[in-house]
């Protein structure tokens, strides 16, 4: 029973990863591929060594987020392309966090890429390739039975904390976190955990000095230098691991959140405020310690 877990049957094959069963049914092995797709698989290609970079980046960031107080599916990196994770059932709600306008947001609202978004925007999308992952509000997610309100509230709170952490983490690597996508899952004990991956496939990252795109947009938009950009992100993260981060004060963040909830009440239920979940989720306090508190 001891020793390195071995991949058994292929449970699932996605666009960028494969998931294998293990003898221990509480865990699975995720294998990262070099395959790349964009615009819901209308564009396909491969990016040499992408799987190796994404596995390394994701493993590093999930371990750091766990230490920060965010429960994740991550257990350990097994090899260059494989990691061992807890088996979870994925909540079919993608969480998009946007610090600046880019991609589909810039197109949808007719604004320039790079427009600073204050407050930070959190969006839910229905995880459904056949429908191209359409954006939806909280009521839709609940009415379709994709997640319940407490889960969505917890996903929102985690997403805000993860944004605080990752924005500071990428900043020490001279990268600005423009936007990113998260997925969550429910483990065997019923606990919500951050799942999937965080990598240049799932984040927009702009070089602070030049504004150059260092992420999957290089592939999506045929900008060239895709492999080099992914390698450079990994190199910078590795070189800056352990450096002190300029994290927002969590008491301040909590105050702002409370304050904005009060504003929501004044504005009425239909007005989602800054750092409020899409569609508003006031008063559904899924109580948990703030990461900043838990670490002391
Ligand atoms: N994303 C969304 N679906 C799949 C991924 N990887 C990520 C993008 C981008 C953010 O979510 O990589 O960082 C917003 O994407 P978009 O296309 O809605 O602008
Ligand atoms: N990963 C999604 C796709 O393949 C969306 C994207 O990254 O553009 O199509």
pLDDT tens by residue, 265-294: 555 444 444 445 565 444 444 444 455 443
- Give the pLDDT confidence score for residue 254 in this predicted structure: 64
Give the ligand whose atoms come closest to the C-alpha of residue 109. Answer: 1
| Planar angle of CA 16, 17, 22, nearest 5 degrees | 180
199 CA distance to ligand 2 middle (Å): 13
Cα R_g (the chain), whole angstroms? 19
- Rounded distance between C-alpha atoms, residue 99 and residue 253, angstroms: 15
Helix, coil or strand: residue 116: strand
Q: Which domains does the chain have, with CATH numbers?
A: 10-86 (3.30.200.20), 90-270 (3.30.470.20)
Q: Compute, in angstroms, the gap from residue 17 CA to the centroid of ligand 2.
A: 13
Counting ligands in written order, which one lies closest to the CA of residue 196?
1
Ligand nearest to the CA of 102: 1
Four-point Cα dihedral 203, 241, 63, 218, nearest 10: 20
Q: Is the model's pTM score more than 0.85?
A: yes
Say how many Å lie between the CA of residue 14 and the centre of ligand 2.
Answer: 11
Residue 39 CB less than 6 A away from ligand 2: yes
Q: Please identify, by atom number, the ligand 2 atom nearest to the C-alpha of residue 36.
A: 4
Q: What is the mean pLDDT of the chain?
A: 90
Distance from Cα 132 to the centre of ligand 2, integer Å: 9
Judge if the beta carbon of residue 127 lies within 6 A of ligand 2.
no
Confirm or reject: Cβ of 38 under 6 Å from ligand 2. yes
Q: How far is the CA of 41 from the centre of ligand 2 (A)?
A: 6
pLDDT tens track, the chain, 296 positions:
467 899 999 999 999 999 999 999 999 999 999 999 999 889 999 999 999 999 999 999 999 999 999 999 999 999 999 999 999 999 999 999 999 999 999 999 999 999 999 999 999 999 999 999 999 999 999 999 999 999 999 999 999 999 999 999 999 999 999 999 999 999 999 999 999 999 999 999 999 999 999 999 999 999 999 999 999 999 999 999 999 999 998 766 665 555 555 555 555 444 444 445 565 444 444 444 455 443 33
Could you tell me if the CB of 15 is within 6 A of ligand 2? yes
Rounded Cα–Cα distance for residues 33 and 60 (Å): 18
User: Which single residue is written with the structure tokens 């000095």?
Assistant: 209
Q: Which two tokens stand for residue 25?
A: 């049914």
- Tell how far the Cα of 181 is from the centroid of ligand 1, in angstroms: 6
């Amino acid at each position: 029973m001891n020793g390195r877990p071995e991949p058994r049957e292929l449970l699932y094959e996605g666009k960028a990863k494969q998931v294998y069963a293990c003898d221990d049914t509480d865990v699975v092995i995720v294998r990262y591929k070099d395959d790349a797709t964009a615009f819901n698989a209308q564009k396909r290609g491969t990016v040499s060594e992408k799987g190796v970079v994404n596995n390394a980046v994701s493993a590093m960031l999930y371990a750091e987020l766990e230490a920060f107080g965010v429960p994740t599916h991550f257990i350990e990196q097994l090899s260059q392309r494989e990691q061992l994770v807890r088996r979870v059932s994925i909540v079919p709600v993608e969480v998009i966090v946007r610090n600046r306008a880019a991609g589909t947001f810039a197109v949808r609202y007719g604004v320039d890429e790079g427009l600073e978004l204050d407050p930070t925007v959190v969006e839910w999308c229905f995880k459904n390739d056949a429908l191209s992952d359409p954006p939806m509000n909280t009521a839709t997610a609940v009415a379709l039975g994709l997640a319940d309100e407490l889960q969505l509230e917890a996903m929102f709170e985690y997403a805000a904390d993860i944004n605080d952490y990752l924005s500071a983490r990428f900043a020490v690597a001279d990268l600005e976190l423009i936007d990113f996508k998260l997925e969550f899952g429910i483990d065997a004990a019923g606990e919500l955990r951050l799942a999937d991956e965080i990598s240049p496939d799932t984040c927009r990252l702009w070089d602070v000095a030049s504004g150059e795109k260092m992420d999957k947009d290089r592939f999506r938009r045929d900008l060239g230098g895709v492999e080099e950009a992914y390698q450079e992100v990994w190199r910078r993260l590795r070189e800056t691991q352990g450096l002190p981060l300029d994290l927002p004060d969590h008491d301040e963040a909590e105050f702002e959140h409370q304050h904005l909830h009060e504003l929501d009440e004044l504005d009425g239920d239909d007005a989602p405020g800054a750092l409020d979940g899409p569609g508003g989720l006031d008063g559904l306090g899924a109580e948990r310690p703030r990461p900043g508190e838990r670490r002391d």
